[in-house]
Amino acid sequence: MPIGRLEGMSHAAQISYKLGIGSRTALVRFALRAPVGNR
């Protein structure tokens, strides 16, 4: 398996991992800010 493919897979995994964390933090922030904004 070429090194390029391994790097591509690891890079994609890092992006998906970061996106997963980003989406979670975004949902938490939205959940915390939404009730305050509705008040």
What's the pLDDT at 6?
64
Whole-angstrom distance, CA of residue 21 vs CA of residue 39? 28
Domain membership of residue 28 as a residue range: 10-38
Q: In this structure, what are the phi and psi dihedrals at residue 2, rounded to the nearest 5 degrees?
A: -60, 150
Domain count, the chain: 1
11 SS3 class: helix
Q: Please measure the distance between the N-terminal and C-terminal CA atoms of the chain and give it in whole angstroms.
A: 56
CA 10 to chain CA centroid, Å, is 15
Instruction: Using the structure block, give the residue that is written with the tokens 């391994």.
Output: 6
Quick: pLDDT tens for 3-39.
556 676 688 788 888 888 888 888 888 888 866 665 5
What's the pLDDT at 15?
82
Q: Is residue 27 part of a domain?
A: yes
Q: Is residue 3 part of a domain?
A: no
Q: Is residue 14 part of a domain?
A: yes
For the record, the structure tokens of 15 come out as 């992006």
What's the pLDDT at 2?
59
What's the pLDDT at 37?
61
Q: Is residue 5 part of a domain?
A: no
